[in-house]
Structure 1
Amino acid sequence: MKIEKLDNSVSEILQVVGICIIDPQLYRVIDVGSEWRTFSNEKSGTDPSRVGGPENPLLNGSDLSTVIGPGRGDASFDDFGVSKYQNRRTMSSSDRALINAFREINGMADRINLAKTIVDRANNLFKQVHDGKNLKGRSNDAISSACLYIACRQEGVPRTFKEICAVSKVSKKEIGRCFKLILKALETSVDLITTGDFMSRFCSNLSLPNMVQKAATHIARKAVELDIVPGRSPISVAAAAIYMASQASNDKRSQKEIGDIAGVADVTIRQSYKLMYPMAAQLFPADFKFATPIEDLPQM
Structure 2
Amino acid sequence: MASRHIYASGFDENKRLPINLPCPECNGDLEREERQTYCIECGLVVREYNIDHGPDWYDGQGQESNKHVGSPLTPARHDKGLSSEIGERRDGMGNRLPGRTRRRFSRLRRYHSQARQPTKRSRNTLRGLVDVRRITSALELPTSVRDRAASLFRESQSRGLLPGRSVHSFTAGSVYAACRCFDLPRTLEEVESVARCDRSALRNAYRVMNVELGLEVTPPSPGAFIPKLASRFDVSDSTRQQAITLARRLESDGKAVGKQPVGVAAACLYEAGQRTGERLLQKELASEAAVSTPTIRSRRNEIGELAD
Select which of 168, 175, 199 maps to 2:195: 168
Any idea what the Cα deviations from partners look like across 1:18-52, whole Å, max 9, x if unmatched? xx999xxxx99564339xxxxxxxxxxxxxxxxxx
Select which of 91, 96, 101 maps to 2:116: 91
In structure 1, what is the equivalent of residue 243 of structure 2? 216
Opposite residue 139 of structure 2, the aligned amino acid is: I
Opposite residue 69 of structure 2, the aligned amino acid is: V
Q: TM-score if structure 1 supplies the norm length? A: 0.67
In structure 2, what is the equivalent of residue 271 of structure 1? 298
Aligned partners of 1:154, 1:86: CA distance in 2, in Å?
42
Opposite residue 150 of structure 1, the aligned amino acid is: A
Change (3 A) 1:21 1:263: same
Change (3 A) 1:102 1:250: same
Aligned partners of 1:138, 1:87: CA distance in 2, in Å?
31
Aligned partners of 1:193, 1:64: CA distance in 2, in Å?
38
Higher RCO (CA 8 Å, separation ≥ 6 residues): 1
Q: Secondary structure of the equivalent of 2:225?
A: helix
Q: Secondary structure of the equivalent of 1:208?
A: coil
1:103 aligns with 2:140: no
Change (3 A) 1:83 1:160: closer
Paired residue total: 237
In structure 2, what is the equivalent of residue 285 of structure 1? none
8 A contact 2:267–2:299 mirrored in 1: yes
Q: Secondary structure of the equivalent of 1:248?
A: helix
Select which of 273, 278, 281 maps to 1:246: 273
Aligned partners of 2:85, 2:252: CA distance in 1, in Å?
62
In structure 2, what is the equivalent of residue 260 of structure 1? 287
8 A contact 2:153–2:174 mirrored in 1: yes
Aligned partners of 1:73, 1:216: CA distance in 2, in Å?
66
Aligned partners of 2:98, 2:252: CA distance in 1, in Å?
77
Q: Secondary structure of the equivalent of 1:196?
A: helix
In structure 1, what is the equivalent of residue 263 of structure 2? 236
- Counting only pairs closer than 5 Å after superposition, residues 1-300 of structure 1 correspond to structure 2 as 31-33=68-70, 59=78, 63-64=82-83, 87-88=109-110, 89=112, 90-92=115-117, 93=119, 94-228=121-255, 231-280=258-307, 282=308
In structure 2, what is the equivalent of residue 41 of structure 1? none
Opposite residue 144 of structure 1, the aligned amino acid is: T
Q: Shift in Å at residue 142 of structure 1?
A: 0.5
Aligned partners of 2:85, 2:259: CA distance in 1, in Å?
56
Change (3 A) 1:144 1:21: same
Change (3 A) 1:83 1:164: closer
Q: Shift in Å at residue 196 of structure 1?
A: 1.7
Opposite residue 109 of structure 1, the aligned amino acid is: T
Change (3 A) 1:73 1:167: closer
Any idea what the Cα deviations from partners look like across 1:267-291, whole Å, max 9, x if unmatched? 21122223333443x5xxxxxxxxx
Change (3 A) 1:182 1:73: closer
Any idea what the Cα deviations from partners look like across 1:41-71, whole Å, max 9, x if unmatched? xxxxxxxxxxxxx865664687547969999
Aligned partners of 1:276, 1:196: CA distance in 2, in Å?
14
Opposite residue 193 of structure 1, the aligned amino acid is: P
Any idea what the Cα deviations from partners look like across 1:136-182, whole Å, max 9, x if unmatched? 21111110111001111111213111111111121122111111101
Q: Shift in Å at residue 265 of structure 1?
A: 1.6
Change (3 A) 1:104 1:279: same
Q: Shift in Å at residue 133 of structure 1?
A: 1.5
Question: Unaligned stretches of 5+ in structure 2?
Answer: 5-31, 35-54, 58-65, 90-96
Q: Shift in Å at residue 135 of structure 1?
A: 3.0
Aligned partners of 1:188, 1:230: CA distance in 2, in Å?
20
Opposite residue 145 of structure 2, the aligned amino acid is: I
Higher mean C-alpha displacement, 87-96 vs 115-124: 87-96
Identical residues among aligned pairs (%)? 23
Aligned partners of 1:84, 1:120: CA distance in 2, in Å?
32
Change (3 A) 1:192 1:86: same
